[in-house]
Amino acid sequence: MNRTTLSTAELRKPVVAAAAVREFARGGYHGTTIADVARAAKISPAYVIKLFPAKERLFVAALETCFDQVVEALATGADHAADPSPTGLLDAMGGAYAHLIADRTLLMLQVHAQSVADLPEIGEALRAGLQQVVDFAKSRSRASDEAVQRFVAYGQLCHLIVTAQIDDVPDAWARLLTEGIRHPG
């Protein structure tokens, strides 16, 4: 029997990345320190630096964790779709994503990533995550390129509605943007 034993560092990386998701979602890239992530992960800042030698690398790990969770939610949505058509699958994936971001943590991490996408390593990770989502939506749904583009555009509109709290604005412009869009509480 061939068993692979993971090192303590390899076991701790996902724990630190999960803590980084929460901390960067709350404070953003510039407002979050390695010490904040270390405190949340209940380890020393020196150990976080050993695992992720730069703050950018720690943020990238958080972003990769985020997009892995997004694709997992999309897969779950597709697995439970009542309508197996491309449109039905995309709708089910969108519903699953809406439930995933109901607590706003992953949503806010993505918003913060967009705000610092000019940092090369973070921009590259953001684009890789978006590619992961687009490729999954396209291959799983078998939808047209135009339908996948609308799916992603609709998701970005949902991000805007949630982060800017447009749901609560009674004005005509806000109703125009939110018509037919509902998010889980």
- Supply the pLDDT for residue 101: 87
For residues 53-77, give the mean pLDDT.
98
Position 55 confidence tier, pLDDT thresholds 50, 70, 90: very high
In sequence order, which ranges of 80-171 are alpha helices (DSSP H)? 86-100, 105-115, 120-141, 145-163
- Supply the pLDDT for residue 1: 47
In this predicted structure, the answer to whether residue 72 has a pLDDT above a threshold of 50 is yes
Contact between 29 and 59 (Cβ < 8 Å): yes
- Supply the pLDDT for residue 103: 87
Which CATH superfamily groups domain 8-178? Tetracycline Repressor, domain 2 (1.10.357.10)
Position 180 confidence tier, pLDDT thresholds 50, 70, 90: confident
Specify the length of the chain in residues: 185
| 73-116 pLDDT per residue, tens | 999 999 999 999 999 999 999 999 989 988 899 999 999 999 99
- Supply the pLDDT for residue 131: 98
Contact between 31 and 25 (Cβ < 8 Å): no
